[in-house]
Structure 1
């Protein structure tokens, strides 16, 4: 690039994206690195030189200019097959993202994000999130474990990595924008198993919760790198937890198991006794018949009489209604006067030689 102001702006944007730029002096040096460079950034003069040199078309060629871009720049873009014309400073965010993608070399597939939170205290959400990260690297997948609970003890304690070197959330000077996944791999504690890698961003048991933009930037960096992103969220969903929850592909709520007697399955058959009629049964139970009471044998020669014959000498019951006297009104009984012999006189002590008659054998 020959435009110095544009060159300074592009170098600043490359530093923000974590990308190292190589400035070539002439068209001959451009030809030698034209096919191997990850991205090519040209201004109007260098684009005209590339068009005159008839360089082959390639991807990721960007033309930059001040706003608005001249008409001739669009013509040069068509000649060399540029991918996009960028008018600075309006297109600066897009250029930063493009340079970051060129540095990180995005994965073939986009990673997935999982949010884990507990239904109550002590449910084991942090342990489950750490187990997901370890399971991912055991299956040969890269994982990024993010601690979004400011009141928790820290995921580094769960994994036994509290003494490992690396940044924690209070050390991350990140507010908004885009962060490269390679920068996270270099600055954060990692665990490896074969070719798989687990990157941990834990809290430090002090300080405030991370900013929502910082959580979103780290989560998107892991997804661009094709990693499985696991976020440990608190039960109280603050702004940072909401930022992770809205970007998650799956949310897992961990609740503790309650032990007790299991309910009887509905499909199990019920065995009814033979003398009970099941409900909604078409066959009714047979009625219960009273068995006759056995009679004692009569002595020989006694007259036989019906078992329930009435006694002729017994008076007949009267059918007339008898009147009952009305109950008398009860008047309160006056209290008894105090006894002159109160308190009672204690009995005289008994003679130990006198025989006792309180037992039957001594009476």
Structure 2
């Protein structure tokens, strides 16, 4: 499947060709709508230069390319029924991934984010267990730590002293990151790659860096599991899912109401014990979210985590396996 570029601007066409080559995508070029007529419906993605006069038949997968975000450009995009205006060169990384996603179906993994309704909800342990259970089922998995103040998620798998790339090493990234380069750089344990924050090198990750790294992760792994704090805005794609982990208590429910919205497919998991006998279904009804499962706190888990050996047996592990086979399945 290829992308169709409609533009009479040679510089713009050359730029798209360069990005397409980086994504291993073939492109067809037309100078106007008449020349593009035969290829328009066959193309997986249509990229239209803002310089194009006239109209084209409406269809999905149309993007307007522009050098600047101006009112006339957005008006033009609305006339064409475009899904987005891609401003170049600022959005090169996004456009490269969008071409790859449209033209190379099946080449990208899926992403699941896990967010705790409040501190201490157990999101990091849940995300790690989910990653371990996916790896045990044969998936290539990357566990991504998005909590800059969490001390490093690599410690949960005993990787804090193992050489490899952490977020501070990627802070200065510009443009696209190759999937293979990411896969080869991060440390791994028990079949799970881990991209962690570093406890001795605080780092704030810019949104464009996060987008580029997650795009590479999707290209390298079958599943990306992100431990996402409440205040981190995560780039999402169609088919992405999120898990909101809520302790079965009034305080947990109240905290969950202020968690920023994630992907459309956000699933609720509740965790016991419930001191006031708050039922999981009552939590789901209060938050208007589908209840995907419930598990009770297991006394042996904190000690196992302290030994860098999160268990792959027990109630939490069984729940994660069930979610991977059910609502979190591809």
Query: What TM-score comes out, normalization by structure 2 length?
Result: 0.47
Query: What TM-score comes out, normalization by structure 1 length?
Result: 0.44
Which protein has the larger Cα radius of gyration, Structure 1 or Structure 2? 1
Higher strand proportion (structure 1 or 2): 2
Higher helix proportion (structure 1 or 2): 2
